[in-house]
Amino acid sequence: MTTQRRTQPQPTTTTSLDPLSLPRGEYHAASATDSRAPCPIMNSLANHGLISRDGRNITKSSLESALAEIGLARTARAALCSISFKVHADEGDVNAPKGSSRLGFREVGQVNGDGVEVLNLDQVGRAKGMEHDVSLSRRDREVGDHMRLDRGLYERLMGVATKEGRGGAFKLWSLAFHRRTLYADSKATNPHLIFGVPQHAAGCLEVAAMQAVFGKGVFKGVPREYYEAVLGEERLPYREGWKPRRFMLLLEIAVFAIFVAVLAWPFSLF
């Protein structure tokens, strides 16, 4: 597995009031009126202007090239974009349009002025789609805000970073055990919890993708300050020294995800 990194200009933060005038790549935190997702990475892409800064009318090609810019495996970004841009269908809807999917985000006919299919980031949080309970940094849908960062969950997550290295690091195994604890908490406190194997797989894939994109190798994990930037500020950790990888295999994400899924497995088999 290749772990070459590409050198990139390091975007700086600005306090300019008009984010639309900022160069592509420069970080600007979202405003209250911007559309945002429950995914810290998609929000980071918008905050850096790699996709539309207001989080609206995002095209598939812009999302795919933004994911390429952060070094995500080609097959992973193609698969994610293909699913995301399907028209959303509710579970069990017999009248759902052909080609629609429960995991898709778009409305029927949701296109921009040029007739190109688009989506808005808030649609990524659709119920019974990709969004799920037992998140690292968001509350379960029925008991809190499933879209935005919860400071309490965030602080607990930060406590999971191992202490070695400069500021500490997030290892796959620590995150797996943390996911198990979060599941136990949700099971005990959320009577409306929806969490089965598909949701478990999604949660573990998110941890795996973080390791693949931001990790410094399996044993070094992801530096704590990278997690702080991405989850805490929805910012890509360029300032902290991160450089996107040049090449990544989907297999790598899959292997990490299986490893996490096994260690974090919360269900009884019998």
Whichever of 138 and 235 has its CB closer to ligand HEM, that residue is: 138
Residues 67-86 that bind ligand HEM (CB under 6 A): 67, 72, 80-81, 84
Residues 142-201 that bind ligand HEM (CB under 6 A): none
Which listed residue (26, 54, 206, 252) binds ligand HEM by CB under 6 A?
206
Whichever of 21 and 29 has its CB closer to ligand HEM, that residue is: 29
Tokens describing residue 27: 């970080």
Which listed residue (121, 175, 204, 209) binds ligand HEM by CB under 6 A?
209
Whichever of 81 and 261 has its CB closer to ligand HEM, that residue is: 81
Segment interacting with ligand HEM (CB under 6 A) among 11-19, 20-28, 86-94, 125-133 = 125-133
Determine if 42 is a binding residue for ligand HEM (CB under 6 A): yes
Alpha carbon separation from 41 to 137, 167, 192, 230 (Å, rounded): 13, 21, 27, 7
Which listed residue (28, 86, 138, 171) binds ligand HEM by CB under 6 A?
138
Residue 77 has φ and ψ, to the nearest 5°, of -70, -35
Residues 19-38 that bind ligand HEM (CB under 6 A): 38
Please report how close the Cβ of residue 198 comes to ligand HEM at its closest, in angstroms. Answer: 12
Q: Are 86 and 106 in contact (CB under 8 A)?
A: yes
Please report how close the Cβ of residue 14 comes to ligand HEM at its closest, in angstroms. Answer: 24
Whichever of 1 and 16 has its CB closer to ligand HEM, that residue is: 1
Segment interacting with ligand HEM (CB under 6 A) among 13-21, 39-47, 50-58, 190-198 = 39-47
Please report how close the Cβ of residue 93 comes to ligand HEM at its closest, in angstroms. Answer: 20
Determine if 47 is a binding residue for ligand HEM (CB under 6 A): no
Please report how close the Cβ of residue 25 comes to ligand HEM at its closest, in angstroms. Answer: 17
User: What one-character-per-residue DSSP string does the chain give?
Assistant: ----B-------B---S-GGGSPTT-B-PPPTTS---S-HHHHHHHHTTSS-TTS-SEEHHHHHHHHHHTT--HHHHHHHHHHHTSBB--TT-TTPPTT-BTT--BPTT-B-TTS-BEE-GGGGG-TTTT--SS-SSS--TTTS-SSS--HHHHHHHHTTSBS-SSS-EE-HHHHHHHHHHHHHHHHHH-TT----HHHHHHHHHHHHHHHHHH-S-TTT-EEHHHHIIIIIH---TTTTT---BS---HHHHHHHHHHHHHHH--S---
The binding site for ligand HEM (CB under 6 A) comprises 38-42, 63, 67, 72, 80-81, 84, 124, 130-132, 135-138, 206, 209-210, 213
